[in-house]
Amino acid sequence: MYNGGKIIVGLVVFIALFAFPFYYNIGKAMEKPEPKTDTPAILQWEKEHGKKECVESKEFMRSEHMQLLNDWRDSVVRNGDRIYTNAAGKQFTMSLQNTCMNCHSNKKEFCDKCHNYMAVKPYCWGCHIQPKENKS
């Protein structure tokens, strides 16, 4: 009999190679961003407190940071109250520039990466100053 097995194996290999660039790119396009939290201010905080922390838990921040920022703005602009006490009783100054962006000074690698992936574009930076970054 003619060697049908080899032909089939050959076909499978050929299709796999042919399709490779296709599924390789799908993987890339769907890759989730991993926001980096290795800025100098965060590493300093880790040294002093023994762990990396945000103003609230990571899960809370991930889903609620937009609302938290709104609340901070209202509190500062309407009530002149600039002190925020978090769930653990720690206090922070309510400031986008001086608090959030002090720790997350890598806006491009952090905020922007996530927002680009989710296709959101907060309009804050027309008025609030972005952290200075060397990388473009």
Binding residues (CB under 6 A) for ligand HEC: these are 35, 37, 42, 45, 52-55, 58, 61-62, 65-66, 68-69, 72-73, 76-77, 94-97, 99-100, 103-104, 110-111, 114-115, 118, 120, 122-124, 126-128
Q: Whole-angstrom Cα distance, residue 51 to residue 104?
A: 16
Min CB(132)–ligand HEC separation in Å:
15
**First-to-final CA distance of the chain:** 64
Structure tokens at 112: 């922007």
Structure tokens at 95: 């400031």
Please, which residue, 1 or 87, has the CB nearer to ligand HEC? 87
CB atoms within 10 A of CB 130: 15
Please, which residue, 25 or 67, has the CB nearer to ligand HEC? 67
For residue 111, give Cα distances in angstroms to 34, 46, 115, 118, 131.
10, 20, 6, 11, 11
Min CB(105)–ligand HEC separation in Å:
9
Min CB(25)–ligand HEC separation in Å:
23
Please, which residue, 14 or 58, has the CB nearer to ligand HEC? 58
